[in-house]
Amino acid sequence: MDKKIYFDNAATTKVRPEVYQEILPYLDEMYANPSSVYTIARDSKKAIDKAREQVANAINATTREIYFTSGGTESDNWAIKGVADAYKNKGKHIITSSIEHHAVLHTCEYLEKQGFKVTYLPVDKYGLINLEDLKSAITDETILVSIMFANNEIGTIEPIKEIGKITREKGIIFHTDAVQAIGHVPIDVKDMNIDLLSMSGHKIYGPKGTGALYVRKGVRITQFIHGGAQEFNRRGGTENVCGIVGLGKAIELATSEMEEENKRLLELRQTIIDGILNTVPYTHLNGHPEQRLSNNVNITFDFIEGESILLMLDFKGIEASSGSACTSGSLDPSHVLLALGLPHEKAHGSVRITLGRYNTKEEAEFLLKELPPIIERLRNMSPLWEDFLKSNK
Amino acid sequence: MDKKIYFDNAATTKVRPEVYQEILPYLDEMYANPSSVYTIARDSKKAIDKAREQVANAINATTREIYFTSGGTESDNWAIKGVADAYKNKGKHIITSSIEHHAVLHTCEYLEKQGFKVTYLPVDKYGLINLEDLKSAITDETILVSIMFANNEIGTIEPIKEIGKITREKGIIFHTDAVQAIGHVPIDVKDMNIDLLSMSGHKIYGPKGTGALYVRKGVRITQFIHGGAQEFNRRGGTENVCGIVGLGKAIELATSEMEEENKRLLELRQTIIDGILNTVPYTHLNGHPEQRLSNNVNITFDFIEGESILLMLDFKGIEASSGSACTSGSLDPSHVLLALGLPHEKAHGSVRITLGRYNTKEEAEFLLKELPPIIERLRNMSPLWEDFLKSNK
Amino acid sequence: MEYSEKVMDHFMHPRNVGEIEDASGVGTVGNAKCGDIMKVYLKIEDGIIQDAKFKTFGCGAAVATSSMATELIKGRTIEEALKLTNKAVMEALDGLPKVKVHCSVLAEEALRAALWDYAKTNNIKIEGLEPPKEDDDLDHHDLFDEE
Amino acid sequence: MEYSEKVMDHFMHPRNVGEIEDASGVGTVGNAKCGDIMKVYLKIEDGIIQDAKFKTFGCGAAVATSSMATELIKGRTIEEALKLTNKAVMEALDGLPKVKVHCSVLAEEALRAALWDYAKTNNIKIEGLEPPKEDDDLDHHDLFDEE
Ligand SMILES: Cc1ncc(COP(=O)(O)O)c(C=O)c1O
Ligand SMILES: Cc1ncc(COP(=O)(O)O)c(C=O)c1O
């Protein structure tokens, strides 16, 4: 294959042509500031109104409950810090999970320094939180539960509706980071009793640097970015009109095509998972076998390290990511894989393959052909493999 | 004139073709997440590195001191809240001016609720702060001075270098909101002793939803958006690559063309100011006559209200803005004009005309032809004008 | 800001702008702080509003509501004019943006102030008419600021 | 991650991968927690390193530095090998990304651990050679986290 094969759709996605086309005018002639009074500014304002409707419809919210942000990370920060500040007189305890995205975890760690108490719920070997753990973690001081909808590394989908039931009964605010779930799992904030929900554009073929936060009417939240009267007076800053338009279109398309696309992805996903587990020895699937995102494959290759695998895949034109943290500055492997109970060397040896709308069966087959010799080659270089073979003799 | 005449370049600007062209690939094929390890991700990373260099060069900073944000508003929020938190053990007093943008003012008001003390320095009738006022406002508790480089409504340029001299001598951090100054006034953060500086892309023909914050090496600042390891571990969130590339290009062009463009704008600005003041009676220039941005015209038309003027101008295809706050929800007119000492009715009757690279002499002449009859018509409708005429009889 | 076509029409071509020299009643409401001042002149004969004129300092909606309100009461009896609500003015204009609702309130009040002036001058009592408020400044503030 | 061409060459085509059956000294450093384990085999005769081989569990830089380090000391005397610093390995590879500098340190340490093993087995003392650290885990952490 000459072409690159992009298997890292959980990291980011290519803007799809329909979104690209919708965006372009707002980078060009339709540049007016939506807050202005003159005629052409109305087009910008209408474009934002339309996008807000598209986002609201995707999760069964009302437009007045949708706020645009600069991305999933800002949405997470705002949701957690904003609720913590607004309800701090009621209590200072927050519950989250140990496998959240850093946008949630580092925000919680920051709040700990500000005097909040945070419980990080453990997960089982599939990455699921335990509802009984959640119930018993709740105290009179608990103001917020933040549990992600679906995990970005292992694809495990958490029992969101059940969590919503518990939190609503106890009168506790429930935030969920749905950055990876949007477009893959049906979401109904009313039915699921979700109070706040974070979204991002660039995981669903929208532009980078765009996001949204759903805040249920009635939930108090302290402003995060102070400034002009944009976003119903709740989030200052001249609107990223082009980004907002792109997010709206992307989310509309993603939800309307979800069912069909999920079918296709599920098949592709299973081909890859089965293909690897059946042909390469000493491999394990990370995450839940069924309760998982239709586009997520995460596999540990024993005895070898993830970045090495990625580099060799890259050499073959295949782009994926790993649970090894070689690039992030810290030397610890993925906190998610460690939370599943994986020992360090197994966490370091994991590879994530995330599928998207441009991936084909041919690409999956190419991967399954190229992967085994790479694994073999790296194992032959590995002192752990050597030790293992010797100890088995 | 059939074409619209856009005279609201301080509100936002059209993305210029050079920037547009530079951006497009990053909305399309060059979509990789800059944090990824594979080959194509390097292009995204390099694009960001290049933009960081362009921004750093524009203000004589180093690349390690430049952080990309989602806009001028986020930069202002981060600078002020981040420094306030990092230095709160040293003191809890902040000094700013009464004519700052809401991104600064509302952030300061928020900090007041969190227990900080804020001094809002008054300005003279031209909008200049007084350096003696600043000096005497400084106490042992003062940790931060935030004074804007140039005002967005009246164009007045503050004595930044002199402020920097005072704050550096006293060992106090100095932040300046340079969103309107960039590309119009030469900026050298070293020479001017600036510790933090906010920038925005969409005022200089770059995309909306992009900004940057300069933080001098050695200045402590608490993180504002927690998450991934992006931006040297200081600002989480997948990078808005296309926006960052656009901001970099825009700022490079704006600074390299500044001298020449300023000459052209100054002439245009003076044509308009003189043209209005000389032909329409009972008009006044707001802001400093010389120490002002080359693109800013702000004039009060006595006895009439700003939005009415804008609507009639809009009818003629001319787009401008006003100091009347009819659109913003609050009924108070511009806090900037009130801070100059203007009574409410004069503040309500002001119009801002801000020029840009696409404005021509012909457009200025068209404005000067269309404006006087509009003013006359509105005055004939005004009870204040009636009272004035009667009292003068 | 999004004005209906009707609002724009009444703003660009306001009906009844001007003064009535020998007005039966004149009322001024609003203040410069709010950015809106409306002055209404009425010519009343035999309990019927023969003519109405206005002067307005204010935004597009202020002009349009003045224009529409004066238009709606011309030829009407005092009783009918008293029944004119700000809602009726708004509806006649095909609606107003939320932040401009206060302009229609002002138009209603200007009319009533002029009627009050007429009643006072002629020493008659009009059933259901209250004296105009001295300064209705606070009434209109922060209509938009929810929560 | 941006590796030089040299690094990529030594990663994709590592020199000296393997074991030496009758090695004079073997050294293993690093641990799985850090994500890097290097094992170096040396064949030493008459104070000269006749052969060097390695096995590495680790990232691209770990493999490349192992490859380069073994390449650089083959045919050298023990004294010369002792002078090999992580900086020299990095320079020979045209540099390493900042977050990967620790890999070159590991390569240097693996070499020294193998030499130490040789010295211990043969009961000789090598001037300037320190015993390998038991667990150098903490040394390499958070190299990147400034301030
Ligand atoms: C689960 C999850 N939350 C939050 C984020 C952050 O979103 P963004 O990159 O838009 O800031 C991501 C992706 O990076 C994610 O996968
Ligand atoms: C002086 C000033 N500061 C801050 C801002 C906010 O910048 P942005 O619109 O990029 O958030 C603006 C413009 O809106 C401005 O004029």
Q: Is the pLDDT at B24 greater than 60, yes or no? A: yes
Q: Is the pLDDT at B241 greater than 60, yes or no? A: yes
Q: What is the pLDDT of residue A393?
A: 72
Per-residue tokens: C134: 């001295």
**Are residues D2 and B233, on separate chains, in Cβ contact within 8 Å?**
no
Q: What is the pLDDT of residue A37?
A: 82
Distance from CA of A388 to the nearest CA of D (A): 13
Q: Could you count the other beta carbons within 10 Å of the beta carbon of residue A20?
A: 18
Under CATH, to which class is C5-120 assigned? alpha beta
Per-residue tokens: B225: 């958006």
Determine contact: A230 vs chain D, CB below 8 A: no
CATH architecture type of domain B5-13+258-391: Alpha-Beta Complex (3.90)
Residue B1: pLDDT band (50, 70, 90) is low
Pairs across A and D, CB distance < 8 A:
85
Residue D134: pLDDT band (50, 70, 90) is low
Q: Is the CB of A9 under 6 A from ligand 1?
A: no
In tens, the pLDDT along B305-325 reads 999 999 999 999 999 998 775
How large is the average pLDDT for residues B153-165? 98
> Rounded distance, CA A271 to CA A38, Å?
56
Q: Which of D28, D31, D37, D59 to mutate to test the interface with A (most CBs of A within 10 A)?
A: D59
Determine contact: B220 vs chain D, CB below 8 A: yes
Helix orientation angle between A72-86 and A102-113, rounded to the nearest 10 degrees? 30
Cα atoms found within 13 Å of the Cα of residue A220, Cβ hemisphere only: 11
How far does residue A198's CA lie from ligand 1's centre (Å)? 9
- Tell me the percentage of chain B whose pLDDT exceeds 70: 97
Per-residue tokens: A15: 């803007």
* 3-state DSSP assignment of residue A198: strand
Helical segments of C1-147, H only = 5-12, 60-73, 78-82, 86-92, 101-121, 137-140
Q: Is the dihedral of CA A76, A79, A85, A87 positive or negative?
A: negative
Q: Which CATH number fits domain B17-256: 3.30.43.10, 3.40.309.10, 3.40.640.10, 1.10.260.40?
A: 3.40.640.10
Q: Is the CB of B105 under 6 A from ligand 2?
A: no
Helix orientation angle between A241-256 and A258-279, rounded to the nearest 10 degrees? 80
**Are residues D2 and B220, on separate chains, in Cβ contact within 8 Å?**
no
Q: Which of A35, A36, A37 to mutate to test the interface with C (most CBs of C within 10 A)?
A: A37
Cβ–Cβ under 8 Å, residues D139 and D52: no
Cβ–Cβ under 8 Å, residues C56 and C66: yes
Going by C-beta distance under 8 Å and a sequence separation of 6 or more, which residues neighbour residue B284? Answer: B277, B299, B300, B302, B346
Q: Is the pLDDT at D5 greater than 70, yes or no? A: yes
- Give the residue from B240, B297, B244, B239 showing the smallest Cα distance to B273: B297
How far does residue C16's CA lie from ligand 1's centre (Å)? 59
Q: Which of D1, D144, D146 sits opposite B37 (nearest CB)?
A: D1
Phi-psi bin for B329: left (phi > 0), alpha (psi -120 to 50), beta?
Answer: left
Q: What is the pLDDT of residue B393?
A: 72
Cβ–Cβ under 8 Å, residues A336 and A100: no
What residue ranges do the domains of chain D occupy?
5-120
How large is the average pLDDT for residues B265-277? 98
Amino acid code (one letter) for A377: R
How far does residue A201's CA lie from ligand 1's centre (Å)? 9
Q: Which of D1, D2, D145 sits opposite B233 (nearest CB)?
A: D145
> Rounded distance, CA A366 to CA A1, Å?
8
Query: Residue D38 pairs with which residues in a beta bridge?
Result: D29, D56
Q: What is the pLDDT of residue D137?
A: 45
> Rounded distance, CA A137 to CA A147, Å?
13
Does the predicted interface ipTM exceed a cut of 0.85?
A: yes
Q: Which residue's CA is the nearest one to ligand 1's atom 8?
A: A72
- Give the residue from B333, B278, B339 showing the smallest Cα distance to B305: B333
Does B40 or D25 have the greater pLDDT score?
A: D25
**Torsion angle (degrees, nearest 10) of CA A193, A196, A202, A206:** 70
* 3-state DSSP assignment of residue D80: helix
Cβ–Cβ under 8 Å, residues A159 and A131: yes
Q: What is the pLDDT of residue D40?
A: 97
Q: What is the pLDDT of residue B331?
A: 61
Q: Which of B32, B131, B326, B384 is an active site residue?
A: B326
Contacts of B74 in chain A (CB under 8 A): 70, 225, 237
Q: What is the pLDDT of residue A50?
A: 98
Cβ–Cβ under 8 Å, residues A89 and A260: no
Q: Is the CB of A348 under 6 A from ligand 1?
A: no
The backbone torsions φ and ψ at residue B46, rounded to the nearest 5 degrees and listed phi first, read: -65, -35
Residue B97 burial class via C-beta count within 10 angstroms: exposed 0-12, middle 13-18, buried 19 and up: buried
Residue D139: pLDDT band (50, 70, 90) is very low
CA distances from A201 to A71, A238, B240, D115 (A): 7, 18, 11, 55
> Rounded distance, CA B358 to CA B336, Å?
27
Instruction: For CATH 3.40.640.10, list the domain ranges present in chain B.
Output: 17-256
Cβ–Cβ under 8 Å, residues B115 and B141: no
In tens, the pLDDT along B69-107 reads 999 999 999 999 999 999 999 999 999 999 999 999 999
Question: Which ligand is in closest contact with the Cα of B157?
Answer: 2
Q: Could you count the other beta carbons within 10 Å of the beta carbon of residue B290?
A: 6
- Relative to beta strand D36-45, strand D48-57 is antiparallel
Q: What is the pLDDT of residue B3?
A: 81
In tens, the pLDDT along A240-290 reads 999 999 999 999 999 999 999 999 999 999 999 999 999 999 999 999 999
* Strand residues in D6-106 grouped as ranges (E): 25-31, 36-45, 48-57
Cβ–Cβ under 8 Å, residues A176 and A168: no
Low-confidence residues in chain A, pLDDT < 70: 1-2, 324-331
> Rounded distance, CA A67 to CA A212, Å?
5
Low-confidence residues in chain C, pLDDT < 70: 1, 134-147
**Torsion angle (degrees, nearest 10) of CA A316, A319, A323, A324:** 60
In tens, the pLDDT along B35-73 reads 888 888 889 999 999 999 999 999 999 999 999 999 999
Q: What is the pLDDT of residue D146?
A: 37
Pocket mutation for ligand 1, best pick of B224, B238, B239, B244 (most atoms within 8 Å of C-beta): B238
Ligand 1 atom nearest residue A200's Cα:
10
> Rounded distance, CA B79 to CA B72, Å?
10
Q: What is the pLDDT of residue D136?
A: 47
Pairs across A and C, CB distance < 8 A:
8
